[in-house]
Amino acid sequence: MTVHITCKTDRFNLSVVGPDFINDCCFGEDFSNWLVSALSDGGVKADVICMEDYGWANHAEYAGNSYLMSVASTPDEDPARPNFGEWHVLLERNRTFMQKLLGQNKGSSSDPIVGKVVGALQGAGFADVRVEP
């Protein structure tokens, strides 16, 4: 199960398309770098992996579990605040083929890493921090 965490902020780029973007919606490098740093400061082992066609892919490990931590964004498209929008953090627990086949070791919104991500976002003062299972 993928856990979807959202927040709103204008701290990160949502308005200037970089020359290395795969397409016009690959924002999130600055958000990923910030999130990985904030989580690392909180005891989570985390790394930025790469740009994807939707945003950025990251890796995180915490409490004995490993996660793909994807980052994507939805700008509010307000000309007065070009970088304001909603950020999406999607956590998917890595599982073996057998675990997937048997429906075991699924991630959930009660995973300890979810609290770490929510705490980092709230601690930074981001608005409307929500968790959707």
Query: What pTM, to 2 d.p., does this model score?
Result: 0.94
Q: How many domains does the chain have?
A: 1
Q: What is the pLDDT along the chain (133 residues), one digit of tens a residue?
A: 899 999 999 999 999 999 999 998 899 999 999 999 999 999 999 999 999 999 999 999 999 999 999 999 999 989 999 999 999 999 999 999 999 999 999 999 999 999 999 999 999 999 999 999 6
Q: What single-letter amino acid sits at 129?
A: V
Task: Specify the pLDDT at position 25.
Answer: 87
| DSSP per position, 32-87 | HHHHHHHHHHTT-EEEEEEE-SSEEEEEEEETTEEEEEEEEEEE--BTTBTT-EEE
CA gap 28, 87 in Å, rounded? 9
Contact (Cβ atoms closer than 8 angstroms) between residue 55 and residue 22: no
The parent domain of residue 39 ranges over: 2-132
